[in-house]
Chain A
Amino acid sequence: MNTLLKIEDLCAQVAGKEIIKNFNLTINEGEVHAIMGPNGAGKSTLSYVLTGKPGYEVTSGHIWFKGKDLLKMSVEERSREGLFLIMQYPVEIPGVPVTSFLKHAVNAQRQYNGEPELDTMEFIKYLREEAKKLGIDNEMLKRPVNVGFSGGEKKRLEALQMTILKPSLAILDEADSGLDIDAIKVVSNGVNALRNEHRSLLIITHYQKLLTYIKPDFVHVFADGHIVKSGDQSLSEEIEQNGYAAYTREQ
């Protein structure tokens, strides 16, 4: 089994504050990892460090993605190499319609892979089909990205972007928050449809519900900037029962 992502002794800070402390994690191809942890532990921070958001500064450690030094890559290169983040708080972009946004994204990826740009009509047809599977109607595709979208609609759009970009590693940062029960199913189906022996998932969630639809191979408890315990799916059940009290410093 090939290693897809290897994080070694990672320390990172935001606004001068150290949030990620000696973090280690290895994800092999095809694996599904779940991370659970209390509010403010640094889960989203980790996802931003991985995707290269400006302001998130790595002070020590390494991240290897497909054997390459991830920290040397720009934000867009990481994406084109196959890293994708479903953001906890998707950003609104007034004036940029969903369709043209996604077309730019897809063509940037195709260009990177040396493939010809997609024909607009073909792309729209394809996009509509994929959107339909996620319960997104054509009207929504014409609207500016995330503007006025409900919480659930935003997450569906994130899932659609993932479906279209077909990443090797998708990080789902609370992809389930704001989703109703049916929508969790729809989004999970979308994620599962994408899975194969080469693609991996890193799922950040507070609820075990999502993990019953997308079954994790490993569950990690994240507290105080690093993983404090790893186990299988039963760990998530235990946390749902008892909370994080046993894993936080205050204990």
Chain B
Amino acid sequence: MSELLSDIALFGENIPWLEGIRSRGRNAFVMPTAKTEAWKYTKLHVLQRDDFVYAPSKFLEELEGCAEEECDCGCEHHHENEECTCGTHCHCAHRPKLYIDLPFDAYQIHFYNGKFMPLYPALPVGVEVMTLMQAVVEGEVQNYLGKYIDLQSYPFAALNTAMLEEGLFVKIDAGISLKKPLMFIYHTQTEQHLLSNIRNIFVAGKGANISVIEYYYHIGDDKDCYFNNIVNEFYLSPQANITHYKFQNEAFKAIHIALNYARVRENAFYKSFCLQKGADLGRNETKIDLLQEQAKSQVDAAYIMNGWATIDTTTDVAHLSPQTISDQLVKGVVGGQAKGVFQGKISIVKDAQATEGHQLHRALLLSDTAEIDVKPELEIYADDVKCSHGAACGEIDQDQLFYMRSRGIPEEEAKQMLIDAYLLEVINRIDNEQIREWILSNV
């Protein structure tokens, strides 16, 4: 992994500010070991075993349409801004079937094998989407990028920072409410051991309101082995609302490591739901700073896995001001020889009185060889707080299973119904009915 860092050419090496941030990332990146506390349950041997390759971005060419000579798709839609069904792949924007049919309307944004496909949805006034590098050039992200994430604590955010290039900058102006969700679809279809490194920054102005969906959508061979290293940063001005949904459905051999970092100001609300179902190693980590009074967060998650996978949900909510509120419900279903990891930290600083922090993790074990590791952590320095945390582990209820089977429902179907019912509690916390149904249909 470290060698990889030395010999790639990235965009904007002549921009000192950007290079400075990257070099901090390079210096901070150390592969976690079995002794690294934050990674003690989630082993990274899969990562050390594989040699990943990074394909440098061609985004400048793509912005202008790809170079003729590089493209051999030969289709008549070539370089026109419409969808193409010719079935061949080229470097231009006309990849087949990028647009996907969903049971809800969304502004779709597509990444293909870790690269942003410059097909911009027609967004209403007040919402702006541009590539991160364009935002760097235009001086939009200097107040955010590289300023807040502690690279020592987040080694893969350090790697992500060292390789800053891909990703988007999204800005929602004050008072703007985006009616449809903005949906990032990460298509992956690769036989290479591709490393994709993506950094997105979302800035919501005062009172702005937006839903963001991330869909990690694998379309290639089941055995595709690749590594998606994602960092999202969310900046919520006072009264802003960001609802963040994520469905991680990577290939079985893939590695997916993500950090979501949110800074939440007065009366703002960062609400998220993440369903993890794919990947050999999937870690969805969330760090939230509740900065001012009535800043609120809700970080829910569900996960289901079998085989040998490890799925990790790690959160760290910092109550940095009085009267801040956080809530979290995580429910998992683990079968085969898989391993579920939940690490949940709530910290409340000394002066953060009248604060509320709740957290609950529950898991259903489907086999004797399935494993759950749970590490709740409360660090409370204020005295006027309402805090709760809990963890419970159970199995499928044999009486329920018998009852269903005695009505003719086949055992596997009955189990699936019980699993759905188990996860329903957390999925029901999704407000948007269509998105809730979509998630439900995918468990």
Given contacts A96-B417, A96-B418, contact A91 B403 (CB under 8 A): yes
In the docked arrangement, what's the CA distance between A34 and B408, Å? 25
- CB pair A54–B406 under 8 Å, yes or no, is no
Whether, in the assembled complex, B34 has its beta carbon less than 8 Å from a beta carbon of chain A, the answer is: no
Among B400, B403, B417, find the residue whose CB has the most chain A CB atoms closer than 10 A.
B403
Q: Which of B393-433 contact A (CB under 8 A)?
A: 398-400, 402-411, 413, 417-418, 420-422, 424-425
> Which of B407, B413, B420 is close to A79, meaning CB atoms less than 8 Å apart?
B407
Cβ of A165 and Cβ of B407 under 8 Å apart? yes
User: Which parts of B368-413 form the interface with A (CB within 8 Å)?
Assistant: 398-400, 402-411, 413
Q: Is A112 an interface residue (CB 8 A)?
A: yes
Give A192-251 interface residues, CB cut-off 8 Å to B: none
Query: In the bound complex, do residue B400 and residue A93 qualify as a contact, i.e. CB atoms below 8 Å apart?
Result: yes
> In the complex, what residue of chain B is closest to A104 when comparing beta carbons?
B409
The answer on a CB contact under 8 Å between A76 and B411 is yes
Bound-complex Cα distance A84 to B403 (A): 11
| Contact status B405-A95, CB under 8 Å | no
Residue from B404, B418, B420 with most neighbouring chain A CB atoms (10 Å)? B404
Q: Are A75 and B413 in contact (CB under 8 A)?
A: no
Contact of A105 among B409, B420, B425 (CB under 8 A): B409
A79 near B418: Cβ-Cβ < 8 Å: no
Contact residue among A74, A91, A108, A112 (Cβ-Cβ distance under 8 Å from B399): A91
Partner among A53, A84, A96 whose Cβ is within 8 Å of the Cβ of B402? A53
Q: A94-B421, A108-B413 are in contact. Are A76 and B408 (CB under 8 A)?
A: yes
**Bound form: Cα–Cα A224–B362 in Å:** 44
User: Does any Cβ of B come within 8 Å of A80's Cβ?
Assistant: yes
If the complex has contacts A79-B408, A101-B404, A105-B407, are A95 and B424 also in contact, measured as CB distance less than 8 A? Answer: yes
**Contact assessment for A104 and B413 in the assembled complex, using a CB-CB cutoff below 8 Å:** yes
**Contacts A104-B413, A104-B417: A93 and B403 contacting too (C-beta < 8 A)?**
yes
* Assembly CA distance A108 to B402 (angstroms): 15
Which chain B residue shows the least CB distance to A83? B406
Take A95-B420, A95-B424 as given contacts and tell me if A76 and B405 are in contact as well, using a CB distance cutoff of 8 Å.
Answer: yes
Interface residues on A, range: 20 to 34
Task: Check A95/B406 contact, CB under 8 A, given A74-B411, A104-B417.
Answer: no
Within 8 A of B (CB), among A58-105: 74-76, 78-80, 84-85, 87, 90-96, 100-102, 104-105
Q: Say how far B22's CB is from chain A's closest CB, in angstroms.
A: 48
Residues on B with C-beta less than 8 A from A95 are: 418, 420-422, 424-425
Are the C-beta atoms of A75 and B421 separated by less than 8 Å? no
Given contacts A53-B402, A104-B413, contact A161 B407 (CB under 8 A): yes
A91 to chain B, nearest CB (A): 4
Contacts of B413 in A (CB 8 A): 104, 108
**Chain A: minimal CB distance from B43 (Å):** 33
Give 21 A-B contacts (CB < 8 Å), ordered by A residue.
A54-B398, A74-B405, A76-B408, A79-B407, A87-B403, A87-B406, A91-B399, A93-B403, A93-B404, A93-B418, A94-B421, A95-B418, A95-B424, A101-B417, A102-B407, A105-B409, A108-B409, A108-B410, A109-B408, A161-B407, A165-B408
Residues of A within 8 A of B (CB): 51-54, 74-76, 78-80, 84-85, 87, 90-96, 100-102, 104-105, 108-109, 112, 144, 161, 165
Not counting A51-B406, A54-B402, A91-B400, a sample of 7 additional A-B residue pairs whose C-beta atoms are within 8 angstroms of each other reads A78-B406, A87-B403, A93-B421, A96-B417, A101-B417, A104-B413, A108-B413
5 closest A-B pairs by beta carbon, nearest first, are A95-B421, A79-B408, A91-B403, A75-B405, A105-B407
